[in-house]
Amino acid sequence: MAELAEDAELSRLQEWLGRALRQRRALDADPDAIAWAEGALEPSPTLSAIACAEIYRQQFWLRHTASLVDDFPGVGGVLGQARWQRLVEEYLDAHPPDSWTLRDLGHALPAFVATRDWLDDRALVADLARLEWALIEAFDAADSPPLDASAIERLDPEAWPQVRVLLDPSVRLLAACAPVHELRRGILAGEAPRALPESSPSWLVVARSPLRRLRAEPVSEAEHRVLLAQQGGAPLLGAFGEELEAGRVPPADAEATLAAWLGRWAEAGWIGAFERGG
């Protein structure tokens, strides 16, 4: 029993410090923290107990802010220093890191941005954050073997109505309110962020090429919808037919359009395999 009590006491000590390190304000401005530190920590030869704890608190904020800066350069570029800092602080308060890897730190940032009333351009910023998170996911997604160039030709024509395209594990599909991929490229190239039209819908495919290069490519709404249907497991021809019926693909160009899409998907590495559905 004594051992369990000792262990629980250690855990309480750690949990208190864990909470203190996530405080936004400096610990030496917090009387409760000072009292706790004086009771729990030894002063060093040169620093008070609270100053020792403060070293770790500062590192918590430096490390997590730096990680988000690395992963969301476009969002940071659009917001500027003050608004970015506010966003990061509010985000880390609302979504403390919960994974063993900093790679996962920004997973909830896109949805969080969309809830920030003080961001008047939040729809655009949220879409840019979605793009940047999609790039992170695509970057280290599972590898798939390269698609055999003759895979399409080998398909039995009678099987085509059931054929589904299995997308490469790196493929992420996004619908954005603006061409955020162009905005991001401009920011990374050092251009000052510029305002974008409020409404210029953009459909993007984020994926890793066979040479492991990441790209965000714009596609038409119809192509995007068919790709989404493939992710959902629908047969290719059925999904394409729906786009024809909806008038998003001109009937006269149907065959050529589908052939062009498949050629592009294969070349870009978006196709992992073809599968004959049941």
User: How far apart are CB 124 and other proteins at their closest, in Å?
Assistant: 17
According to CB under 8 A, which one of 68, 78, 87, 135 is a site residue for other proteins?
135
Nearer to other proteins, 49 or 236 (CB): 49
> Rounded to an integer, what distance in angstroms lies between the CA atom of residue 113 and that of residue 133?
12
Whether the Cβ atoms of residue 243 and residue 173 lie closer than 8 Å to each other: no
What is the torsional sign of CA 227, 231, 232, 238?
A: positive
Window 40-59: contact mask with other proteins (x via CB under 8 A): xxx-xxxx-x-xxx-xx-xx
> Rounded to an integer, what distance in angstroms lies between the CA atom of residue 101 and that of residue 116?
26
169 CA to centre of own chain: 15
> Rounded to an integer, what distance in angstroms lies between the CA atom of residue 124 and that of residue 130?
10
> Rounded to an integer, what distance in angstroms lies between the CA atom of residue 58 and that of residue 103?
20
Window 21-40: contact mask with other proteins (x via CB under 8 A): xx----------------xx
Nearer to other proteins, 70 or 242 (CB): 70
Bridge partner list, 179: none
User: How far apart are CB 198 and other proteins at their closest, in Å?
Assistant: 24
Window 175-204: contact mask with other proteins (x via CB under 8 A): ------x--xx-------------------
Angle at which helices 31-40 and 49-71 cross, to 10°: 110
Strand 214-219 relative to strand 271-276, pairing: unpaired
Note the residue count of the chain. 278
Whether the Cβ atoms of residue 171 and residue 219 lie closer than 8 Å to each other: no
125: contact with other proteins by CB under 8 A: no
According to CB under 8 A, which one of 30, 123, 169, 254 is a site residue for other proteins?
169
Angle at which helices 122-139 and 73-94 cross, to 10°: 90
According to CB under 8 A, which one of 123, 141, 163, 273 is a site residue for other proteins?
141
Nearer to other proteins, 15 or 267 (CB): 15
Whether the Cβ atoms of residue 271 and residue 230 lie closer than 8 Å to each other: no
145: contact with other proteins by CB under 8 A: no
User: How far apart are CB 123 and other proteins at their closest, in Å?
Assistant: 21
Could you tell me how many residues of this chain bind other proteins (CB under 8 A)?
Answer: 67
According to CB under 8 A, which one of 24, 63, 194, 276 is a site residue for other proteins?
63
Q: Which residues contact 166 (CB under 8 A, 6 or more apart)?
A: 230, 271, 272, 273, 274, 275
9: contact with other proteins by CB under 8 A: yes
According to CB under 8 A, which one of 97, 186, 193, 238 is a site residue for other proteins?
97
| Residues at the interface with other proteins (CB under 8 A) | 3, 6-7, 9-11, 13-15, 17-19, 21-22, 39-42, 44-47, 49, 51-53, 55-56, 58-60, 62-64, 66, 70-71, 96-103, 131-132, 135-136, 138-143, 169-170, 181, 184-185, 206, 208, 212-216
